[in-house]
Structure 1
Amino acid sequence: MSTLSDDTIRRIENAAAALIAGGNPNPTNEQVRQHLGGGSLSHISPVMRAFRARQREQAAEQTTPLPAELAQLLTGQLGLLWQAAVRQAGAETLAAREQADADIAQADRERDEALAKVTSLESELAVLREVVAERDRLLLDVRALRDEALPLREQVARLTATGEHLTSQLKETKAELKDSREENRALQAELLTLARADGKAKK
């Protein structure tokens, strides 16, 4: 039998099962061979021995009655086990309910804390929004001042340039005035000299 393939063993067992299903509770090796359409009895025989042994074991398991005393004992034990299971289930249910209540209470506390945190964050966010709005207003004011300062800077630059030009002209005028005064003094000295010379000549 050990040399047979699994497929061959399965085909022999299927043939025997088909004969049993067809109303033949104890098919012979020859009947199995005929059902297969041929084959070696030396191959079929060991497979059928193992097959019949399994059939007998299954039949014995199915037909062996349970003693009344054992059945009564098992019934009593099962009843006790059932009662213990019910009590255990009740205790577990109570414990589960208590744990669930505790979990719900904890969840409620965490929810309240989270809501309080959200409220606090919303207040902080409102303050931050006001700060941002104030910053934006200040930026607009700064931009407006810069826009106003630009022409003033240009005017200051023009006035500075004009002042520098006037300063330069003033320096030149002072220099010319100084030269004119020196020339005037020189002319006055010459006129005085001429006048004195003319007075001497008349005498």
Structure 2
Amino acid sequence: MKVKPEIKDRILSAANALAAEGIENPTNDQVRERMGGGSLSHISPVMREWRESHKVRVAAALEMPGDLKRAVETSVSQMWSVASKLASTTIETVRQEADQAVEEASKERDEALGEISRLEESIASLQQLMAEKDKAIDQVKNELVTERSNNAQLKSENTALSTKVDDRDTQFKSLKAESEKALSAKEAVIDKLREDLDAERAKLTTLSSENAVYSTRIEEREKQIESLKSEISKAAAENGKAVKEFQLELDNLRAEKQKLAEQQAVFESRIDDRSEQIKALQSELKDARADNKKLQLELVGLARKPQK
């Protein structure tokens, strides 16, 4: 993995500072702590290079200084040569063992870094999935609020329509009662006129001398009866038309009320579906958060693994 120069400089500065404080072989965690944070996938390869260069510097420091060679070249050169050979042999042995240990540690570190990279990718995927789930839940919640608003509006319209239908029913009943009352009154008048007509006819039979007068009065009564019959027929026709119009309007209002009730049922069904979607998404989000927590614990465990 290629590390940016500015990040590499920060890592090297932290490692050199720790070495200057007496920590000859600082761990990756110590370097990350000194930096105040960072990714182990960046710190580990840079620290491998730093450890290799540090070993070279330590080995170079073991060589005899020039001033010391000149000061003791006459008397102790042979002794120093023997000691140097022994030291070189010891250093070489230690170096080989260290190289082997470093190689094994590097292999383990590479495996750990691969696992860390995989876990970081999994965490990123889970975080993206969680964000998508949160977005989907917000969208469903917004749609649910809209559906509830529409349902409330439909309920209000349904209530208003029910009130209107009730008012129309009341008006229809009142009109019908008035029409029946008017017809009853007209029929009572007709009955009275018929009684009068019968009385006049009786008088005509018994009082032939007054035949002309009674004939005229009978004709007038018959005209009155025909006029009243015409008025009754006209009133009945007008009342029938009004009744039909009220009945038609009442039927339309009832049909509209039924339609609104069906729409309300559809919206309530959609609200139930949205509620189930929210429950399912919340369950998935809970599982995703649990998986994310588990992966973070694994990542922390790998990060805390002792460096060899």
Q: TM-score, normalised by structure 1?
A: 0.46
Q: Point out the structure with max Rg over C-alpha.
A: 1
Structure ranking higher on relative contact order (CA contacts 8 Å, 6+ apart): 2
Q: TM-score, normalised by structure 2?
A: 0.32
